[in-house]
Amino acid sequence: MTTAPADVAPAGIGATARITAVPDGLGGTRLPVLESDGPLALRRTRGTGAYARVTVVGAMSAPLGGDRLAVEAGVRDGAALAVDSAAATVALPGRGGRHARYDVRLTAGADARLRWLPEPLISARGSDLRMITRVELAASARLVLREEQILGRYGEEPGTLTTRLTVHRAGRPLLDQELSYGPGAPGGWDGGAVLGGHRATGQLLVVNPDFELNPPETTLLGDNAVLAPLAGPAVLVTAVAADALQLRRVLDRALRTFG
């Protein structure tokens, strides 16, 4: 038996979890595909109304440096899916200084409804994570998507975190943004023009065809959050806060109003 040299960092985990939601013919939604993988364990939990609900449960510590994780969720025409998570995701350092990657790929067909509401992502000191979320929506699909990033655990400096969110609706770009924080990020990420010293940041994206006739107006939501309409039937709430609790309160208020 051969062993790798001691100075060679081990490869990280590669895992892809998959969800497919389809109408059940009775006004609800069934899940013909619910496939867990590696540290990404999927559990069907109690939904409401037409929504099938899936909760992502971390089966082990991840993502670590070198890991390549992905979640794919497809909501077919007329189906309704809500996805949340049982706990926060903590990005941790791994051996060898390699970065981790976490991809989220979401699709929603005609008249489909998708609610993507995970718990926060925590960027622990020494970690390096690239997270990419790609969303493809039909023209009549509805989406509620929340992202929250907590920069460092209590009393510690953050790791390096780069997130990108790309949304296409009816084949046309709706939103494409990239954010970077922590060591190695472009200068000024913690300055007054970006975080202003805050350690929690997040956003809520709501895509609703009804906004084409009655679009919300740009609105300040307290001192550190703003709601902005996009060039399409969608609004984006962006917020910063001192901690995760304050951030969630702001986004929850927006969710109750517009989600």
pLDDT at residue 17 greater than cutoff 80: yes
How far apart CA 224 and CA 201 sit, in angstroms, is 10
Note the pLDDT tens digit of each residue in 77-124.
999 999 999 999 999 998 777 899 999 999 999 999 999 999 999 999
pLDDT interval class at 1 (50, 70, 90) = very low
How far apart CA 67 and CA 170 sit, in angstroms, is 32
Note the pLDDT tens digit of each residue in 224-235.
999 999 989 999
Decide the pairing of beta strands 52-58 and 80-85: parallel
pLDDT at residue 59 greater than cutoff 80: no
Q: What is the pLDDT of residue 22?
A: 98
For residue 196, count other CB atoms closer than 10 A to its CB.
Answer: 10
Give the mean pLDDT of the chain.
91
The angle subtended at Cα 219 by Cα 218 and Cα 222, nearest 5°, is 155
How far apart CA 78 and CA 110 sit, in angstroms, is 6
Which of 4-8, 159-163, 182-186, 217-221 shows the lowest per-residue confidence on average (mean pLDDT)?
A: 4-8
Section 56-85 average pLDDT: 92
For residue 41, count other CB atoms closer than 10 A to its CB.
Answer: 15
Asked whether the beta carbons of 208 and 199 are under 8 A apart, the reply is no
Q: Which phi and psi (to 5°) does residue 8 adopt?
A: -100, 120
Beta-carbon contacts of 220 under 8 Å, excluding residues fewer than 6 positions away, are: 226, 227
Note the pLDDT tens digit of each residue in 137-167.
999 999 999 999 999 998 889 999 999 999 9
